[in-house]
Amino acid sequence: MPLNPDIAHYLREQARMPQPPTAPTLAQLRQATDTGLRALHGPAEPVARTGDFTLRARDGAPLRLRVYWPSVSDAPQPALVFAHGGGWCLGSMELYDNPCRALAVATEAVVISVDYRLAPEHRFPVPLQDFCDALSWTFEQAERLGLDRSRIAVAGDSAGANLAAAACLAARHGDGWGAGGAPSIAHQLLLYPALDAAMDSPSFDLFGDGYALTRATMAYCYEAYLADPAQGRLEQVSPSRAESLAGLPPATVISCEYDPLRDEAEAYAARLQEDGVLATAVRLPGMIHGCIHMLGLAPAARQLLDMAGIGVRRALR
């Protein structure tokens, strides 16, 4: 279908903005991303309560989490351990406060938002290790948090979905999880995931410029994340390069029609199915990358949460 008209108007307005004479610094890019996306969010959705926690990552560094309980319940609740997007070098727990509230409401699951450390200050594998440490902590603290250990899933959008998918591969291998062992992940919710550092799928040619996320931006993000481009061939960086996807958790994979990452997301869902994993692929018509931030811009962006809600509720209930 055609590009959503609200988003099309937004892209035209962005294209008219004057370009700075020099490339922005990383600090300026982070600030601009935060300011620009917040302006698209719309009102915050109410949840029953939230709580901030700090744990120690495997190297002793403090790692912040924010937990969103969508409702009050005496029974243990399902949960999503969530990694935010931003190309491993942008974004934060604070920027994703509105999206995580909306995700908790839509999925009826407790959302644990992970404020993993960002590249290039902390390159691969630190963001992935932080996410895995937060996942282990969630299982350890399940009773305290009111969670059902048998219904703890992982989730993320864009680069965060990359971390969620990579964590599932790491859990399958079972190495590096400490005394508690690898967690038993119930589901993976991957929202327009980045899954291959090669960036060579046809949708990059179709939508790699002019649709918010560009090929140049993705190349910048991978360069920030990786100390060596050769790391892009690792399955922990490019999950689609894993030799087999058999034995991974069931998945809901949501792609956007006008997104350079569309084809790699849909190919990953197809591979999961071929390798015997229960996987549902959903393409959002008329949408672009990052639409979890666009509820205040385009009412049709709500379909992302609708589809995520259906997938997670079906999987965890």
Q: Is residue 265 part of a domain?
A: yes
Residue 215 lies in a domain: yes
Q: Quick one: average pLDDT of 178-187?
A: 88
19 domain-assigned: no
Confidence at residue 18, expressed as pLDDT on a 0 to 100 scale: 85
pLDDT in tens, 96-110: 999 999 999 999 999
pLDDT value at position 17?
87
Helix (H, G, I), strand (E, B) or coil at 274: helix
Model confidence band, residue 154 (pLDDT cutoffs 50, 70, 90): very high
> In the chain, how many domains are there?
1
Q: Is residue 168 part of a domain?
A: yes
pLDDT of residue 80: 98
**What predicted TM-score, i.e. pTM, was given to this entire model?**
0.98
Asked if the model's pLDDT at residue 269 lies above 80, the reply is yes
Domain of residue 58, residue span: 5-14+24-316
Reported as a pLDDT band with limits 50, 70 and 90, residue 194 is very high
The answer to whether residues 98 and 90 touch, using CB atoms and an 8 Å cutoff, is no
Q: Which residues are catalytic?
A: 158, 259, 289
Top pLDDT among 20 and 169 is at: 169
Q: CA 283 to CA 265: how far, in whole Å?
A: 10
For residue 86, the SS3 value is coil
Q: Would you state the pLDDT for residue 23?
A: 85
How far apart (Å, rounded) are the C-alpha atoms in residues 308 and 305? Answer: 5
Domain holding 199: CATH number?
Answer: 3.40.50.1820
* pLDDT reported for residue 211: 98
Q: Model confidence at 187, in pLDDT bands (50, 70, 90)?
A: very high
Rounded percentage of the chain residues whose pLDDT exceeds 70: 100
pLDDT at position 267 is 98
Q: Is residue 137 part of a domain?
A: yes
Distance CA 32, CA 259 (A): 21
> What pLDDT, on the 0 to 100 scale, is given for residue 176?
74
